[in-house]
Structure 1
Amino acid sequence: MGQEKASVQFVKGAAILGIAGLVSKLLGAVYRIPYQNIAGDIGLYVYMQVYPLYTALLILATAGFPIAISKIVSERVAVGDAIGARRAFRVASISLVVLGIFFFLLLYGGAPIIASMMGDEHLITPLRAVAWSLPLVPMAAILRGYFQGHQNMMPTGVSQVAEQFIRVIFILVAAFWAMNVYQDPYLAGTGAVFAAFPGAIAAILVLLWYWRADKKMGQLSMGQVQQSSVQPWTNRQILRHLLTYAVPICMGALVLPLVPLVDSMTVVNILQWSGTPEDLAKLLKGAFDRGQPLIQFGTFFATSLSLALVPAISEAVAQRQHQLISHRSEVAIRLTFLLGLPASFGLALLAEPINVMLYGDSNGTEALAVQSFTIIFATVSIASAGILQGLGRVMRPARNLFIGVLVKLILNLALVPFWGISGAAVSTVLAYLVAMGLNVLAVIKYTGANIGFRQTVKKPFVSVVVMSIVVLIVEWLANTVLASAGLSNRLFYTLVGLIAVALGALFYLLALLKTGGLTRSDIQFLPKGKRIASLLTKYKLLPAEKARMNEKEA
Structure 2
Amino acid sequence: MHSKGQSFIKGAAILGIAALISKLLGAVYRIPYQNITGDVGLAVYNKVYPIYSMLLIIATAGFPIAISKMVSERLALGDKRGAKRIFRISAYILSMTGILFFIILYFGSDLLAVLMGNQQLSIAIKSVSFALLIVPLMAAIRGYYQGHQYMVPTAYSQIVEQIVRVITILVLSYWFIKNDYGVYYAGAGAVFGAFSGAIFAFAVLLLFWKKTNRMTDEIFLSHGQVEIQQFSQQPVVGIIKKILYYSIPIALGSLILPLFGVVDSFSVSNLLQALGFEKNQSEYWFGIYTRGQPLVQFTAFFATSLSLALVPSISEASARKNHQLIQERTDLALRLTLLIGLPASVGLAVIAEPANILLYENNVGTKTLAILAFTSMFSTLGITSSGILQGIGQVILPARNLFIGVIIKLVLNLILIRTFGIDGAALATVSAYAVATFLNLIAVNQYTGIKIGFLNFFVKPTIATLMMGAIVWIAKEFLELAISPFIPKERLLMAVVSIVSVSLGIIVFAFSLFIFGAITKKDLINTPKVGKKLITFTERLRILKD
Q: TM-score, normalised by structure 1?
A: 0.95
Q: Does 1:323 align with 2:330?
A: no
- Between the aligned partners of 2:128 and 2:232, the Cα distance in structure 1 is 43
Structure 2 counterpart of 1:217: 216
* Structure 1 residues 315 and 82: CA distance shift in structure 2, 3 A: same
Q: Distance in 2 between matches of 1:8 and 1:226?
A: 24
| Superposition map of 1:325-474 within 5 A | 325-474=326-475
Amino acid at match of 1:234: P
Contact 2:413-2:425 within 8 A present in 1 as well? yes
CA shift for structure 1 position 486: 4.9
Assess, with a 3 A threshold, how the Cα gap between structure 1 residues 232 and 501 changes in structure 2: closer, same or farther.
same
Q: What is the Cα deviation at residue 374 of structure 1? A: 0.4
Give, in whole Å, the separation in 1 of the partners of 2:228 and 2:236. Answer: 22
Give the aligned residue type for 2:12: A
State the alpha-carbon separation in 1 of the partners of residues 402 and 412 from structure 2: 15
Partner of 1:115: 113
Counterparts of 2:309 and 2:393, CA distance in 1: 15
Taking the aligned partners of 1:106 and 1:18, their CA distance within structure 2 comes to 33
In structure 1, the residue corresponding to 2:424 is in which secondary structure?
Answer: helix
Q: Distance in 1 between matches of 2:77 and 2:467?
A: 61
Residues 201-350 of structure 1 mapped to structure 2, 5 A cutoff: 201-214=199-212, 215-217=214-216, 227=228, 230=231, 232-350=233-351
CA displacement at 1:522 relative to structure 2? 2.4
Pair 1:92–1:229, CA change in 2 (3 A): closer
Counterpart-to-counterpart distance in 2, 1:252 and 1:522: 31
The separation in 1 between residues aligned to 2:164 and 2:368, in whole angstroms, is: 32
Tell me how far apart the structure 2 counterparts of residues 477 and 225 of structure 1 sit (CA, whole Å): 74
What is the one-letter code of the residue matched to 1:210? F
Q: How far apart in 2 are the matches of 1:183 and 1:293? A: 26
What secondary structure does 1:449 align onto? coil
Amino acid at match of 2:488: L
% identical aligned pairs: 48
Residue 103 (structure 2) aligns with: 105
Provide the C-alpha distance between the structure 2 equivalents of 1:66 and 1:205, rounded to a whole number of angstroms: 18
Deviations 1:56-92 (A, max 9, x none): 0111111110111111111011112222211101110
SS of 1:96's equivalent?
helix
**How many Å apart are 1:193 and its aligned residue?**
0.4
Distance 1:197 1:253 in 2: 21
CA-to-aligned-CA distance 1:481-527 (integer Å, 9 cap, x gap): 12322512212211111111110111111111111112122233143
Q: Aligned partner of 2:499: which letter?
A: L
Tell me the equivalent position of 1:85.
Answer: 83
- The letter for the 1-side match of 2:437 is M
Q: Tell me the amino acid that sits aligned with residue 454 of structure 2.
A: F
Q: Following the alignment from structure 1 to structure 2, what is the Cα–Cα distance between the partners of residues 467 and 276?
A: 39
Aligned partner of 1:128 in structure 2 is 126
SS of the residue 2:257 aligns to: coil
- Residue 528 of structure 1: aligned partner: 530
Shift of residue 299, structure 1, vs aligned partner: 1.2
Q: Which moved more, 1:149-158 or 1:527-536?
A: 527-536
Question: Residue 403 of structure 2 aligns to which amino acid in structure 1?
Answer: F
State how far apart, in whole Å, the 1-side matches of 2:230 and 2:108 are: 50
Counterpart in the other structure of 1:539 = 541
Name the CA distance, whole Å, in 1 between partners of 2:452 and 2:356: 35
1:53-64 matches, within 5 Å, as 53-64=51-62
Q: How many angstroms does 1:6 deviate by? A: 2.1
> Aligned with 1:132: secondary structure?
helix
1:182 partner SS: coil
1: CA distance, partners of 2:349 / 2:430: 13
CA distance in 1, matches of 2:227, 2:504: 69
**Residues 81 and 232 of structure 2 are in contact (CA less than 8 Å); yes or no, is this contact kept in structure 1?**
no
Q: Is the 8 A contact 1:211 1:217 kept in 2?
A: no
Q: Is the partner of 2:486 in helix, strand or coil?
A: coil
Q: Distance in 2 between matches of 1:520 and 1:232?
A: 58
- Inter-partner Cα distance in structure 2 for 1:231 and 1:463: 62
- 1:35 shift after superposition: 0.7
1:83–1:232: 8 Å Cα contact kept in structure 2?
no
Structure 2 partner of 1:12 = 10
Q: d(CA) in 2 for partners of 1:140 and 1:302? A: 28
- Note the alpha carbon deviations across 1:254-313, whole angstroms, 9 max, x for none: 001111111111000000001112221111000111011110001111111222333212
Contact conserved, 2:79 with 2:228, CA < 8 A, in 1?
no
The aligned amino acid for 2:291 is R
1:486/1:213 Cα in 2 relative to 1: closer, same or farther (>3 Å)? closer
Question: Helix, strand or coil for the counterpart of 1:527?
Answer: coil
Report the 3-state secondary structure (helix = DSSP H, G, I; strand = E; otherwise coil) of the residue aligned with 2:10: helix
Distance 1:59 1:259 in 2: 14
Unmatched 5+ stretches in structure 2 = none
Alpha carbons 1:83, 1:225 under 8 Å: kept: no
1:40 aligns to 2:38 (yes or no): yes
Q: 1:324-352, CA deviations, whole angstroms, 9 ceiling, x for partnerless residues?
A: 01111010000000110010000101100
CA deviations 1:180-226 (Å, max 9, x no partner) are: 111511111000001111100111111111111112338988x9666
Partner amino acid, structure 2, of 1:32: R
Measure, in 2, the Cα distance between the counterparts of 1:29 and 1:154: 23
1:147 corresponds to? 145
**Quick one: which amino acid aligns to residue 451 of structure 1?**
I
- Separation of aligned partners in 1, 2:211 and 2:37: 41
For 2:217 and 2:126, the matched residues in 1 are separated by 36
Change (3 A) 1:104 1:228: closer
Gaps in structure 1 of 5+ consecutive residues: none
1:361 CA displacement? 0.6
Coordinate RMSD, CA, aligned? 1.5
- Asked whether the equivalents of residues 79 and 227 of structure 2 are also in contact (C-alpha less than 8 Å), the reply is no
Provide the rounded CA distance (Å) in 2 between the counterparts of 1:165 and 1:486. 34
| TM-score for both structures, normalised by structure 2 | 0.97
What's the offset of the Cα at 1:13?
1.1
Q: Quote the Cα distance in structure 1 between the aligned partners of 2:398 and 2:201.
A: 29
| Counterpart mapping for 1:69-80 below 5 A | 69-80=67-78
Contact 2:85-2:232 at 8 Å conserved across structures: no
Task: Classify 1:516/1:481 alpha carbon distance in 2 versus 1 (closer, same or farther; 3 Å).
Answer: same
Task: Decide whether aligned partners of structure 1 residues 508 and 108 sit closer, same or farther in structure 2, where only a CA change above 3 A counts.
Answer: same
Counterparts in 2 of 1:452 and 1:39: CA distance versus 1, 3 Å: same
